[in-house]
Structure 1
Amino acid sequence: MSLLKKANALVQAKAVVTSLMPCLLGILFAASYYHSFQLANSLMITISVVAFHLAVNAHNQYKDYEHFKGQDSHNNILKNFAITPRQARTVIVGLALFSMIIGLILVDRTGQPVLWFGIVSFAAGYFYSGGPYPISKTPFGELISGLTMGYNITYLATYVNMYQLIDVRGMWYKTLVVAIPAIFTISNIMLANNIADRHEDPSLGRKTIVYYWGKKGGVLLWQVSFVMAYIGILAAVILGYLPTATLLVMLTIPIVWRNTQRFSRHPKKETTFLYSIINAQIILVTTVVVGGLALIF
């Protein structure tokens, strides 16, 4: 098996869109609302965020290996791809340190908010699957992942582009409105994963929100979350935080609803779970692309 295939399986590179899009969303917000764009800072925050996301993915795979050691499971990536624990730890530490170094450079360039938001994000990334009480085993996994990746990343990408401005009052809640589609679509990826794993999770000690709400409640929450993502985009446009052309994302509703129905009928990891990722990409990519084109033209 090639080294590239092993690395891709460990870090789950295909999932980086879930961290890349909030980053681009924050950059779009800074450029359209605050009329400020810092190319170097934008590149650095993007690289730092993606590197840390890859490190978190690898850490999650490593912790799953510890749970499934010696067992055959689709979750046991290290065993399935012949990756040694030492190789996994090297990748995790290397990516985390790389992300941290870039983050500290941004702290020096832009100020303390990057440090504090970075610390919170690093802590959430580690404790999601690490520590004595992993967040992934609780009903709060979706909430933490949505806020950390959806809001924190959008905030950081916005801040490093407009930190030099004097009037930044209300930035935290304005960014929160802009980040709503990212918060709900990212948390929905975690929710879909938990819905699909609802039979296996209890035996691993995972009492997620699906454990308490059941399949029906989990699927309903999953569907409502996509509605909230679109409402967030509408609110951001009405309040003037995003370009009016961003409303074109509403044209994707039939596609997203069709995918939502497919997963809702048969929520399975091997077949329909992918629709959660596809829906997140459709909503976030369309928002960023259409909003970016509106700024250019």
Structure 2
Amino acid sequence: MKKVSVIKKANALVQTKSVVTSFMPCLLGILFAANYYHSFNVVNSLLIMISVVAFHLAVNAHNQYKDYERYRGKDSHNNILKNFDIKPLQARSTILGLALLSMIIGLFLVDRTGLPVLWVGLVSFAVGYFYSGGPYPISKTPFGELFSGLTMGYNITFLATYVNMYQLIDVSGLWYKTFIVAIPAIFTISNIMLANNIADRKEDPALGRKTIVYYWGKQGGIRLWEVSFVIAYVGILAAVVLGYLPVLTLLVILTIPIVWRNTRRFSAHPKKETTFLYAIINAQLILAVTVIGGGLALIL
């Protein structure tokens, strides 16, 4: 086997290219807190971003490790440890280190801001583990998209919002208000997982994975994938109408032609090696332009 550099091994294990999908909900939550609650704490914002990114990388590495255990001896592009010659001990050490970093920062934020960070953090850690761990991993069920979307899209947005406005007296409705703001993150992030499952629809059943695509079929999965992007845009519009996000976040409407083109390209030929990237591009584009537009509104 050709020798693989440490950097390539680390990148393959933790999937650094996906970090934006956890970073953006953080920025969305910060934007919500600054616009609607007129509150921003730079220290807490930096801490929550580091904690969230570390946790995301730990979950990615854990997913790769569990895939290695399940697919050992099988030919699968999911077997990253085997494909990149990563030792199991290296993977476990990376997972533990990143998880501890996220946990320590999280507990520090609990002390600074309050118990909601602890409860949401515990739920997120549980989903992060059981997504690929335990006797019945979530990733092998039809609920992978739901859990990934809510955990990364909603939980992260909520945490980033809360640590910036925890000191306010009136926090009524924070849970449902944050949910509306988080709709674009929830649906674009879940769509990344859905696109992955659509692309893997032929390989997954043989590996014991019965995702939503297994039950709905290729066309059903693609229709859901397309509708989810529509819901993401509707969510942004609703947040602006309700005053949760500034009007300039509607600059995201300019991304519709690009997102639609990418959506059609994937729908026509859903393949992991070629068109799956469009799911990531769409998610990052929608969330990035939303945050940039909102950021401009705050500056101007």
1:163, CA displacement in angstroms?
0.1
**2:99 aligned with 1:130:** no
Aligned to 1:139: 142
Q: Which runs of 5+ in 1 are unaligned?
A: none
TM (norm. structure 2) is: 0.98
Question: Tell me, what secondary structure is at the counterpart of 1:82?
Answer: coil
**2:206 aligned with 1:203:** yes
Q: 2:20 aligns with which of 17, 23, 29?
A: 17
**2:268 aligned with 1:273:** no
**Count of aligned pairs:** 297
Q: Which runs of 5+ in 2 are unaligned?
A: none
**2:195 aligned with 1:189:** no
TM (norm. structure 1) is: 0.99
Aligned to 2:175: 172
Q: 1:255 aligns with which of 254, 258, 276?
A: 258
Aligned to 2:158: 155
1:71, CA displacement in angstroms?
2.9
Amino acid at match of 2:66: K
Amino acid at match of 1:68: Y
Aligned to 2:215: 212
Amino acid at match of 1:224: V
Q: 1:38 aligns with which of 37, 41, 51?
A: 41
Identity in percent: 81
- Give 1:30-109 correspondences, 5 Å limit: 30-109=33-112
Q: 1:228 aligns with which of 226, 231, 236?
A: 231
* Cα deviation 1:264-296 (Å, max 9, x = unaligned): 000011110000000000000000111111101
Greater shift, 60-69 or 8-17, is seen at 60-69
Question: Tell me, what secondary structure is at the counterpart of 2:19?
Answer: helix
* 2-structure distance, mates of 1:70, 1:224: 38
* 2-structure distance, mates of 1:104, 1:295: 30
* 2-structure distance, mates of 1:2, 1:199: 31
Amino acid at match of 2:155: N
